[in-house]
Structure 1
Amino acid sequence: MSDLTSSLSSELRTRVREIVADVLEVPADELVEDKSLEDLGADSLMAIEIFSRFERQLGIRIPQEELTELEDLRTAYDLVARHQPSAEAAGV
């Protein structure tokens, strides 16, 4: 697990997993961190939908050029962690 991923709460990791599973139409328990999303049937349109849901449901903004980084659940966690507002920036 990367330092970024370890900064995600278990609740946020669960939400990321659920979003990815919903878009791919697979049970969330079938998603393991290092299994390729492509192996689960993901295509580029599904990757765009995953990004869109991250933005709408998690309130984050991920640049489109980072779309190619989405390879598996681990990279999804990293992308979300990288773009979530930090507690320090929020004044918490």
Structure 2
Amino acid sequence: MSEAVLPEELRNKVREIIADVLEADADELTEESSFVGDFDADSLLVIEMYSRFERDLGIKVPQEDAPELDSLPATYAHLAKYAPEAAGV
């Protein structure tokens, strides 16, 4: 079974949303960055990310996945599972 991949355009939008929520420059977010460790993200910021993914991108992610969304790669992988346009890619 192949894993769904988030399209590059969507990855860029996700990065922008996360940077906005974390009040960071998008260039500061790297593939190795930890939202909690590097940007002091707390549970309220993670909830804000979820609501922005749903509102701005139409991607609803179950809140039980919240602890796993601490980096760009993890977030991309989780969003790809729930993104309508990533299905079947």
TM-score for the superposition, normalised by structure 1: 0.84
How many residue pairs get aligned? The number is: 85
The equivalences for 1:52-91 within 5 A come to 52-86=51-85
Distance (whole Å) between structure 2 residues aligned to residue 18 and residue 60 of structure 1? 15
Identity of aligned residues (%): 52
- Specify which of 12, 33, 36 is matched with residue 34 of structure 2: 36
**Aligned partner letter, 2:12:** T
Root mean square deviation, CA, Å: 1.6
1:27 aligns with 2:28: no
In the TM superposition, structure 1's runs of 4+ consecutive aligned residues that sit over 3 Å from their partners are 86-89
Distance (whole Å) between structure 1 residues aligned to residue 7 and residue 72 of structure 2? 15
Unaligned runs of 5+ in 1: none
Partner of 1:51: helix, strand, or coil? helix
TM-score for the superposition, normalised by structure 2: 0.86
